[in-house]
Amino acid sequence: MSADLERSVRKVFGTSTEVSALGVSNSSIPEGGAGFYDHEHFADDKLYNRRRQRSAGSTTIPVVEEPLNVGRQPVETGGVRIRKNVVEQPVERTVPLKEEHINIERSAADRPVTTGSFAPFEEGTIQITERGEVPVVTKEARVVEEISVGKEIEHRNETIRDTVRKTEVDIEEFDQDGRPRNRVSGNR
C-alpha cells in the first residue's frame, strides 16, 4: 500500500486520534501526520523491494493462477439407524415398616410420695415421642447392556447361476430306401 493510498484510507476510517475518541486503544495505530511517511521504512523501494517503477501510462494486470486440487471424497453407501426410547414401567414393591404407639394406662394407687418421685405440686410437662418408619425410594440409573457399533469390510465370492442355450446337431445318413445307415451325433 502506498503512502497516498493509506492516507486516503485513513480519511475514510479516521486517524488514530479519531479512533481513540471511540474508546479504542490507539497504542498500535501510528499517527498519520505530516512527515510520518518520510521515514525510510515507508520508502517504496525498501517496502516493496521487488516492485519496479512504472511509467505514468502503464497498467499492471495481475496474473492469477488457480491450481486444480484433486482429492477423494467419501460417500454414504448405506448405514444403520439406532433409536433409543425411554419407556416407563410401573413397579411395585412391598416394604415392612414399624410404627410406635404410646399407650396410656391409668391405675389406682394409694401410697406416700417418696423423694425419688416428682416433687409434689410442681408443674411440668413430660413429652414422649412416637417413632415410625416411612418408605424411602431411591433410583439409580445403571448400565445393564452395551451395544457396540462398528464397521468391518467383508470380502465375498458370489456364484451366479443362469441358463444358457446351445444348438445341437444330429447328422443321420440313410440309404435310397430311407433306412438309417450311419448316425453321427454333433455334440461336442
Buried (b) or exposed (e) across 45-81, using 16+ Cβ within 10 A?
Answer: eeeeeeeeeeeeeeeeeeeeeeeeeeeeeeeeeeeee
- Domain boundaries, position 37: 3-47
15 in a domain, yes or no? Answer: yes
Residue 84 confidence (pLDDT): 92
* Number of domains within the chain: 1
22 in a domain, yes or no? Answer: yes
Residue 170 confidence (pLDDT): 73
11 in a domain, yes or no? Answer: yes
The Cα angle at residue 69 between residues 63 and 72, in degrees rounded to 5: 170
145 in a domain, yes or no? Answer: no
170 in a domain, yes or no? Answer: no
140 in a domain, yes or no? Answer: no
181 in a domain, yes or no? Answer: no
26 in a domain, yes or no? Answer: yes
pTM over cut 0.75: no
Q: Which three cell numbers stand for residue 20?
A: 481513540
CA distance 9 to 18: 13
Q: Which three cell numbers stand for residue 97?
A: 415398616
**Alpha-carbon dihedral angle through residues 39, 24, 12, 60, given to the nearest 10 degrees:** 50
Q: How many CB atoms lie within 10 A of CB 82?
A: 6
Tens-digit pLDDT string for the chain (188 aa): 677 777 777 776 655 555 455 555 544 445 555 566 666 666 655 555 555 666 677 766 666 667 666 667 788 888 889 999 999 999 999 999 999 999 999 999 898 877 666 666 777 888 999 999 999 999 999 999 999 999 988 877 877 767 777 777 777 888 888 888 876 665 55
CA distance 122 to 106: 20
